[in-house]
């Protein structure tokens, strides 16, 4: 059986695109269904997903097995609360075959005939003995090596069967998981079964701080099986039959090609092709998101492997959407992806379950339609893109410290379409000019600010909200917790020990916050909370840290609404020095002055 596989890859600090089989989407298997349908209307209701685990899952340790099943269940629960389908009364899946497959249809009674033997499988996952959900199956020469009778039957109260396996399969070095659909509804062509294969090496290496990443990965893979795959587009309700077989298949009415004539690169303006989902709801959501009324649709990925191209949102313009080709920081299943579900014609969606995608929001047509060079060159602050190597700042929601992923390799072969090296654009951390590029191919080599993970035993990253990043008596005095947020620092961090003074060029730090009395309050390690009366106010820090010495810095208060929302008191100028520093009273200062004078005359 031919399928198209889709996968999500992530690697820190280097990221690569998916690499896997890409087969003809026209060769699909069709399950047998009995619809719940009256003569006048169909029955739409929340999708019911049945989970079937391959025996490879049972080979995991008890802890890992529990973790995987919890992740799968959480992902299932999300979709069962988010998408509706035309429900079916019962369904029956085609088995897979070793060798060729034939179908016999005797007055609606379907039997599958396999060249060698019948497999009760979907992709890499095989159903346990007694899972009676498959059509009858026989072998071409009449002698099957094993009895298939225990697998013959139908399943009720289910609209989609999800098979789960954890096998090496086609797992590349940096692949977390991959997925595909298996059987389709014989009339609507909606997927009614599929599988997700978790890559064992990646799952075994999972750290505590990666749970949200893995949940997003599972959801990402299920979306491929449900709807977001080039093998599905021709079956969308608005698809026109003139499918063009190109590296990214063009399906008029669903995915189309457009040429940008003003794509700015180092050599000037050149023509550049982009591919876009142009279905009605997707187009409107893209226009609303960017505030660009002339946008033709939502751009899809044009780079990476065959399972990445055309089956993910373009990372340059949808960086933190869950369906971008690589996962780097936020993984939002946004209104855009839910709109794709609706435009297929197979689903109704609950937009209240959409997650916020801040990337590019309201930035207009220049951001959505033009190269990132146009954006970086024409603005003093190129955010969310960046031009200085290693530069750090706070993320837009202040929940993370983010770093510029600009790199300057010794030997860089940069494609013409993505070479943005105009004079003096890119600099190193000392301000020197460099020839560089963004770290990720699928982001069109545009450099941007992102959360970074540290390859360390502690499994830390740059999220302020992850308590596992916490370490005490560090010179930055940072706090990592669910209520911690990112703040800019004035003048870096100074550490003095005896006669030695060192300044660390830290631009940002994570500190505890609380919103009370209509004001923002901030604290660092071993201190009380201090109020922020106005944006730009300093919280002065001066502390002695064992074995380190005296640490001094100044935390810059952001606008209160950045963290506390709209319920903030008006800014109030405050002349008193606020913070955690050594205070000496006037009387004590006079006493010390007297002692100094006395010692001088003695």
Average pLDDT, the chain: 87
391 domain residue, yes or no = no
380 found inside a domain: no
Q: What is the pLDDT of residues 265-303, one digit of tens each?
A: 999 999 999 999 999 999 999 999 999 999 999 999 999
pLDDT above 70 covers what percent of the chain?
Answer: 88
pLDDT bracket for residue 14 (50, 70, 90): very low
Could you tell me the CATH number of the domain that includes residue 503? 2.30.34
Q: Name the nearest CA neighbour of 53 among 181, 215, 162, 210.
A: 162
Is 220 one of the annotated binding-site residues?
yes
CB atoms within 10 A of CB 565: 9
Write out the two tokens for 106: 């005797």
- Tens-place pLDDT, residues 25-34: 556 677 777 7
Interatomic CA distance for residues 314 and 337, integer angstroms: 12
Q: Would you name the residues annotated as active-site residues?
A: 221
Q: Is 312 annotated as a binding residue?
A: yes
pLDDT greater than 70 at residue 368? yes
pLDDT over 90 (residue 548):
no
pTM of the model: 0.87
**How far, in Å, are 181, 225, 280, 339, 555 from residue 344 at the CA level?**
15, 13, 10, 9, 50
Q: Looking at the 3D structure of the chain, how many domains does it have? A: 2
Q: Which of 217, 235, 253 is the last residue of a domain?
A: 235
Confirm whether 475 is domain-assigned.
yes
Give, for 284, the enclosing helix (H) or strand (E).
helix 280-290
Structure token pair of residue 105: 């249809």
Distances (CA, A) of 400 to 211, 231, 344, 403: 17, 37, 35, 10
Of 5-14, 120-129, 147-156, 436-445, the one with minimum mean pLDDT is: 5-14
pLDDT at 556 over 90: yes
Instruction: Assess contact for 391 and 404: CB atoms under 8 A.
Output: yes
Q: What is the average per-residue pLDDT within 302-315?
A: 91
The last residue of a domain, from among 208, 235, 262: 235
Q: Render pLDDT for 325-349 as a digit per residue (tens, 0 to 9).
A: 887 776 899 999 999 999 999 999 9
| Mean pLDDT within 373-388 | 95
Dump pLDDT digits (tens) for 55-103.
Answer: 999 999 999 999 999 999 999 999 999 999 999 999 999 999 988 888 8
Task: Look at residue 456 and tell me whether its pLDDT is greater than 70.
Answer: no
Tell me which residue range forms the domain holding 79: 1-235
Of the chain, the end-to-end C-alpha distance in Å amounts to 99
Q: Which of 235, 260, 280 is at the close of a domain? A: 235
**Is 232 annotated as a binding-site member?**
no
Would you say residue 221 lies in a domain? yes
CATH of the domain at 46: 3.10.170.20
Residue pointed to by tokens 């909200």 = 465
SS3 591: helix
Q: Is 42 helix (H, G, I), strand (E, B) or coil?
A: strand
Residue 503 domain flag: yes
Q: Is residue 350 one of the residues assigned to a domain?
A: no
Q: Which backbone phi and psi does 300 adopt, to 5 degrees?
A: -110, 165
The per-residue pLDDT for 307 is 83
Higher pLDDT residue, 580 or 293?
Answer: 293
What is residue 17's predicted lDDT score, i.e. its pLDDT? Answer: 37
What confidence category does residue 37 fall into, taking pLDDT thresholds of 50, 70 and 90? low
Quick one: what percent of the chain has pLDDT higher than 90?
66
Residue 317 inside a domain? The answer is no
Q: What is the 3 state secondary structure string of 122-153?
A: ECCEECCCCCCCECCEEECCCCCCCCCHHHEC
Rounded Cα gap, residues 293 and 278, in angstroms: 14
Residue 406 has pLDDT above 90, yes or no: yes
Is residue 395, in this structure, part of any structural domain at all?
A: no
Is 172's pLDDT higher than 70?
yes
pLDDT at residue number 547: 81
Sign of CA dihedral 132, 134, 138, 140: negative
């Amino acid at each position: 059986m031919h399928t198209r596989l889709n996968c999500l890859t992530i690697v820190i600090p280097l990221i690569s695109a998916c690499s896997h089989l890409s087969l003809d989407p026209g060769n699909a298997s069709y399950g047998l269904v009995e619809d719940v349908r009256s003569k006048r209307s169909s029955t739409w209701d929340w999708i019911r997903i049945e989970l079937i685990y391959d025996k490879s899952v049972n080979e995991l340790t008890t802890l890992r097995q529990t973790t995987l099943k919890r992740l799968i269940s959480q992902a299932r629960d999300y979709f069962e609360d988010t998408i509706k389908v035309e429900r079916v009364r019962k369904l029956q899946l085609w088995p897979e075959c070793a060798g060729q497959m034939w179908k016999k249809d005797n007055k609606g009674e379907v039997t599958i005939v396999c060249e060698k033997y019948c497999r009760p499988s979907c992709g890499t996952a095989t159903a346990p003995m007694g899972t009676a959900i498959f059509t009858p199956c026989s072998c071409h020469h009449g002698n099957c090596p094993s009895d298939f009778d225990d697998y013959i039957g139908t399943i009720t109260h289910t609209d989609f069967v999800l098979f789960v396996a954890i096998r090496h399969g086609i797992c590349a070095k940096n692949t977390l998981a991959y997925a595909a659909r298996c059987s389709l509804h014989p009339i609507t062509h909606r997927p009614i079964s599929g599988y997700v294969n978790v890559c064992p090496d990646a799952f075994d290496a999972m750290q505590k701080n990666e749970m949200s990443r893995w949940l997003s990965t599972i959801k990402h893979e299920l979306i491929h099986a449900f709807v977001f795959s080039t093998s599905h587009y021709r079956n969308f309700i608005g698809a026109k039959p003139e499918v063009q077989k190109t590296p990214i298949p063009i399906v008029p009415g669903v995915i189309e090609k457009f040429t940008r004539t003003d794509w700015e690169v180092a050599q000037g303006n050149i023509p550049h092709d982009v591919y876009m989902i142009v279905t009605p709801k997707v187009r409107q959501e893209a226009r609303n998101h960017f505030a660009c009324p002339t946008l033709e649709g939502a751009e899809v990925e044009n780079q990476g492997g065959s399972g990445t191209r055309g089956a993910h949102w373009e990372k340059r313009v949808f960086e933190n959407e869950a369906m971008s080709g690589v996962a780097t920081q936020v993984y939002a299943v946004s209104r855009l992806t839910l709109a794709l579900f609706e435009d297929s014609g197979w689903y109704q969606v609950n937009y209240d379950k959409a997650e916020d995608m801040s990337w590019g929001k309201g930035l207009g047509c220049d951001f959505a339609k033009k190269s990132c060079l146009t954006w970086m060159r024409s603005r003093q602050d190129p955010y969310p893109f960046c031009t200085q190597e290693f530069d750090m700042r706070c993320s837009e929601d202040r929940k993370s410290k983010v770093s510029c992923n600009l790199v300057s390799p010794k030997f860089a072969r940069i494609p013409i379409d993505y070479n943005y090296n105009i004079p003096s654009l890119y600099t190193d951390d000392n301000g020197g000019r460099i020839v560089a590029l963004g770290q990720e191919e699928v982001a069109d080599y545009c450099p941007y600010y992102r959360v970074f993970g540290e390859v360390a035993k502690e499994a830390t990253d740059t999220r302020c909200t992850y308590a596992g990043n916490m370490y005490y008596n560090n010179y930055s005095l940072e706090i990592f917790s669910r209520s911690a947020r990112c703040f800019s620092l004035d003048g870096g961090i100074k550490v003095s020990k005896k006669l030695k003074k060192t300044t660390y060029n830290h631009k940002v730090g994570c500190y505890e916050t609380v919103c009370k009395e209509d004001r923002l309050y901030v604290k660092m390690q071993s201190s009380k909370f201090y109020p922020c009366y106005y944006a730009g106010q300093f919280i002065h820090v001066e502390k002695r840290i064992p074995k380190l010495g005296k640490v001094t810095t100044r935390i810059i208060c952001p606008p209160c609404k950045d963290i506390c929302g709209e319920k903030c008191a008006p800014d109030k100028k405050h002349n008193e020095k606020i913070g955690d520093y050594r205070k000496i009273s006037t009387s004590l200062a006079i006493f010390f002055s007297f002692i100094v004078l006395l010692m001088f005359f003695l």
